[in-house]
Amino acid sequence: MSMDNEDLRTLALFEKVEKNQGINQRQLAKELGISLGLTNAFIQKVLQKGWMRARQVSARRWIYFLTPQGGMEKSRLTANYLKRSIDYFRDLKQRVNNKLMELAAQGIKGLHVYGRSDLSEVVTLCLPLWEIELLSTITTDHLTSPDSPDMPLLPELHANQLILITALEDVEMIKTHLLSNDYKETEHWVYF
């Protein structure tokens, strides 16, 4: 039940058309992030499959709507998308729990989470299971360079505390920031 890019694009197309039947192909192309030519070919394919219908309302204007078959296909794609998302969350949660189990076994009792992401949210949800306290979240909202005055202040670490990098972007800049402030990898911080 995996979804490929075409399935994701089809689901997005169905959602855009349901929200705005009068949407034109240029708008669709922009919202789907694909070329106008590809949008036209994609719409033709969906029309041929009977998932959508088009009705001309003026010389250069069309309205699009889903057929009952299109509604069923949208339901199937939505269910697949939800299953994929839940599977992703379960996998991520398992990886997070494995990491937290490792940290708890090392005696870590408090974490400063560096970075906001889906990963940091899952870490926050799992921390109580391991009796590890969330001490702070260090944001990465305005990172420009490791020596920039916009870099976040780093916490003072006490015994059994660590910084866990959960950012998904700018990781090298974060590592440089930590190292330049004498925070040593594995002793003061770890990367998920």
The domains located in the chain, with CATH, are 5-79 (1.10.10.10), 106-191 (3.40.50)
| Total-model pTM | 0.75
d(CA 22, CA 63): 5
What's the pLDDT tens digit per position in 53-111?
999 988 888 899 999 999 999 999 999 999 999 999 999 999 999 999 999 999 999 99
In the block, tokens 């794609």 appear at 77
Given its phi and psi angles, is residue 90 left (phi above 0), alpha (psi -120 to 50 degrees) or beta? alpha
